[in-house]
Amino acid sequence: MPKIEFDMAILLGDVASRGGSDLHLIHGVPPIARISGDIGSLPYPVMTSEVIRELLQPYLDEYQRDLLKRENRVNCAHTINDGRFRFSIYMAQGTFGASIRVLPTKNYPLSALGLPPVVGTFVHKKSGIIFVTGATGSGKSTTMAAMLEWFNQTGRPGKIITIEDPIETIFKPCRSIFVQREVGVDTPSFDAGILDSLRQDPDVLCIGEMRDQKSIFAAMLAAETGHLVLTTLHTRDASKTAQRIVSAVPAGEQDVIREQLAMTLEAVISQELLPRADGKGLVVSCEILIATQAVRQMIRENKLDMINDAIQSGGQLGMISKDNSIKNLFAKKIITREVALEHMRSPETLGR
């Protein structure tokens, strides 16, 4: 057995203390961290595949070890020294590797995340579906956790069921009770967990991710049958979210899914993290779509390219476009002009 010159708790504590979001363990290089969006090596020796394997073993149970052996990948989450971390363990060219995400140690208020106040009103809906979208690492899980905690603290008394892979945030009951289920551990799949939940009397159903056609249909069914559903998608904006949902099903069923989406959609929150001008981390820019009758009709008639126009004209209702969100950050000098121009759809509209 190789002598391990690393300690996982120390490595993760080091990344967290530097304000990092991710730790990467890769054969042949030192531990690597992502800090304020940038990748860089940490001051430790080069790691080998065997050392990485030995570091990870204590954090895998028998089921997870077997899954890693069979499928060459496994996802899990752990609390280590009061910190919460999400592990994505994999094989690459026959070597062990891992990407470990630093999860928030507490649920931040929606206002502290820089999200518009209208987001807080979404979780008081009785039913329907709310999407939180964005690229990997854009803070979707943090936003969704903040929304659930807002419901827990301010909403009507209720039952919240989460279906996650893996469980990231551990919630404490306040006005609501929580049942948190992990895919692969407590339920075989997202769609199975969603369908089970319909018999478990939930008020709010939080789905970590809609990954396939089965989970999309199950989530739509949950929203149709009178539950409030929160879920995420890896889409960049509201119109692409609708396109992704519709295109995920066979052509012969797309009219049905469009009608379901038109009936159940309540809002889309699309977000992106941008580097701050002061160099102190990242700030969220977000696009907000609220499902008005006009938006529902656009979905029914497959005029999804018109959704961006609806957002532009819906400011009085609480909608905000991506470009306007970025302009607001630039006007407040939170981001630089260069960052604003790089991320806007229409950079020529940015004023001096």
Residue 114 in contact with residue 285, Cβ under 8 Å?
no
The topology under which CATH files domain 8-103 is Beta-Lactamase (3.30.450)
Domain ranges (residues) in the chain: 8-103, 110-349
Counts for the chain of helices (H) and strands (E), in that order: 13, 13
3-state secondary structure of 43: coil
Return the structure tokens found at 81.
Answer: 């020294």
Q: Other CB atoms closer than 10 Å to residue 313's CB: what's the count?
A: 12
At residue 35, φ and ψ (nearest 5 deg) are: -130, 125
Domain 110-349: CATH architecture, name and number where available: 3-Layer(aba) Sandwich (3.40)
Local confidence pLDDT in tens for the 352 residues of the chain? 344 468 899 999 999 999 899 999 999 999 999 998 889 999 999 999 999 999 999 999 998 999 999 999 999 999 998 889 999 999 999 999 999 999 877 777 888 898 999 999 999 999 999 999 999 889 999 999 999 999 999 989 999 999 999 998 889 999 999 999 999 889 999 999 999 999 999 999 999 988 889 999 999 999 999 999 999 999 989 889 999 999 988 999 999 999 999 999 999 999 999 999 998 889 999 999 999 999 999 999 999 999 999 999 999 999 999 999 999 999 999 999 999 999 999 999 987 6
Rg (CA), the chain: 21
Q: Which two structure tokens, joined as six digits, stand for 313?
A: 């004209």
> pTM of the entire structure?
0.85
Q: Is the peptide bond before 166 cis (omega within 30 degrees of 0)?
A: yes
Contact of 242 with 296, CB cutoff 8 Å: no
